[in-house]
Amino acid sequence: FNLLDLLPDVLDQRPNESDSLDTVIIVDNVPVVGPDRLEKLKTIIRKVFSKFGNVVNEYYPEENGKTKGYIFLEFSNSSDASNAIKTANGYKLDKSHTFVVNSFSDFDKYKNVSPEWNPPAKEEYKEVCNLKSWLLEPDSNDQYSIIYAQGDKVVILQNGAAAPTMKNQRDNWTETTTKWSPKGSYLATFHRQGIALWGGPEFERIQRFNHSDVQLMDFSPCERYIVSYAPVQDANTQEPSGIIIWDSKTGAKKRGFIATGGHWPVFKWSNDGKFVARSGNEVLSVYESPVFGLLDKKSIKIPGMKDFTWSPTQNIIAYWVPEDDNAPARVCLMELPSRREIRVKNLFNVHDCKMHWQKNGDFLCVKVERHTKSKKGFYYNLELFRMREKNIPIDTLEIKDTIQAFEWEPNGNKFGVIHGESPRICASFYELEKTTLGHANLLKTLEKKTCNTISWCPAGQFCVLAGLRSMNGVFEFVDTADMTTMNMGEHYMATDVEWDPTGRYLMTGVSWWAHKVDNGYFIWSFQGKILQRHPLDQFCNFSWRPRPESLLSEKELSKIKKELKKYQKQFEQKDKLSQSKASKELIDKRRNLFNEFEEFRARHRATFEEYKSDRLALREGMDSEEESGDQLEEKIEFFIREETEVIAKKKSE
């Protein structure tokens, strides 16, 4: 009999010759100690390497009563040993000792290296597509992506004065949705196997990341890394794979994490992509790129922390902690990597907090929802942190109504608040004065408005008060320079509103994902005039392509603003040319259609003449279609009108 047939499961576990090599690692740069400190060293080593698996054997070579500075560790399986090599190599034990970890099998590999060196083969240069090509458009028209037909079709269009221009269209380009990178270099699509990045003039595939059943993804602000999330752990790997950080340029996996509960994004990035952080179990874990090891090898303990967010321009984290017994709630600003708390604000009777950063990081608003003394109602405070001023002073603004929305002006010191309950909803605009601390100046309150969303123009000054979804798509365009309403408009049942990156245009849309009828999108001017209407069956999603930051300095931008009147005439001429161009295109289109008809008519006239002899034979030599004088004439009579005239009789008769 064959023993393999009787005990296959047992014999599969029999040791192989290579097992003893693949499960053993060598750790170099270990401290040299004597017998008195050996046990302490072993305890530290076990603590570090037990994270990767079960260490079944350890050997510390000695010479003259002291260790030699390297050790041998054996794991229960080769995958744990491989994980230890990958992760612990470069681990800093202290200032003088950084581990160098290798596999024991590498001895045979490098012992038999040939002494002869052969230069690597010269690789053919492959030209990389221009990821910024869309910025070369002469009139600076922006691109946008559209998903429609229940998500089966994706279109990339370029906005225009009269109508958009098709740049790319593909069926089944993504299985769920698409996402632009923060600077517009890449378009990410979702697939069952993972994520793909596309770019360049023809949207070539730049990179792909294998992450089965991926559902969510996020870019780092610098576009160097992406984070992907899949709810199911990959069974083919021992490493965590619920959340994975990838290098967007090389496609390399930087680190995997176990997926835990929480709101997306789980990982939040610093503005420069140097740090990424996550919270959980009352600790804040900050990881440092490019290795993504814990900053200073330890998490930050913050008991009770509810939420945190990064400054958009500095490596500063803002977080808040709720009240605990007699301890007040706290809002803290912590600087990294020093972990120094640079500002703390204590709060009482707190139910909830929401943090809102101004785009330039000049201000932070903490919207505090507080209990009344009776504990039956709520009132609101806005704690306004002036981040650029010495000691970070804080202004406090109390609002007794329910706050439905809060938004900072992107490049200024104004903010808008929607407060109150229907039908008495108000929109109030405030300004933080630069010279007067402790005061937020009320500019104007617009009363009895139908709105639940504030959307600021990216350049500032202009904003839209939008009544989305249940408020039936009412839009009010406001100029906050003098607090005047420029225009009112309506897009019935609108679900989305989004400004283009330049602030010249606004999109409003009715998504099929929210409503099954009246799907499509409108393009508006910043002054509230509808420029384009695009009804689109089963329209799902619209997304403007972001632009990178301007290369102009503040001084150059200020000069352009001062000389804007000089450029205005050039812009007006361009607008007229674009309109005449649109008229010319329409005339050319009609002329082409007329020429096509004339060609069609000439072809059929020739065919008619070709069959003339057959017609004459069938009609006994008569052809009613001849153009000669012998052609038959056909008279047609039809009734036009009837008139009746009464003639009076003469008296003599």
Range of lowest pLDDT (152-166, 543-557, 612-626):
612-626
Of 49-58, 236-245, 406-415, the least confident: 236-245
The domain over range 19-110 is classified in CATH as 3.30.70.330:
yes
Nearest to residue 38, comparing CAs of 66, 63, 74? 66
Question: What is the architecture, at CATH level 2, of domain 174-301?
Answer: 7 Propeller (2.130)
What local confidence, expressed as pLDDT, does residue 579 receive? 63
The per-residue pLDDT for 11 is 55
Question: Dihedral of CA 62/63/68/72: which sign?
Answer: negative
Residue pLDDT, tens place only, 83-128: 888 888 888 888 889 999 999 888 877 888 888 888 888 888 877 7
pTM for the whole structure: 0.74
Helix (H) or strand (E) holding 510: strand 505-510
Cβ pair 292, 256 in contact under 8 A? no
Is the CB of residue 330 less than 8 Å from the CB of residue 345? Answer: yes
Name the pLDDT band for 564 (thresholds 50, 70, 90): confident
In angstroms, the CA 499 to CA 501 distance is 6
Q: Report the distance separating Cα 588 and Cα 584, nearest Å.
A: 6
CA atoms within 13 A on the CB side of 17: 0
- Domain ranges within the chain, ordered by starting residue: 19-110, 174-301
Residues β-bridged to residue 157: 144, 166
Residue-wise pLDDT tens digits, 579-637: 666 566 677 788 889 999 999 999 999 998 888 888 888 887 776 655 444 445 667 67
Pairing of strands 474-479, 462-467: antiparallel
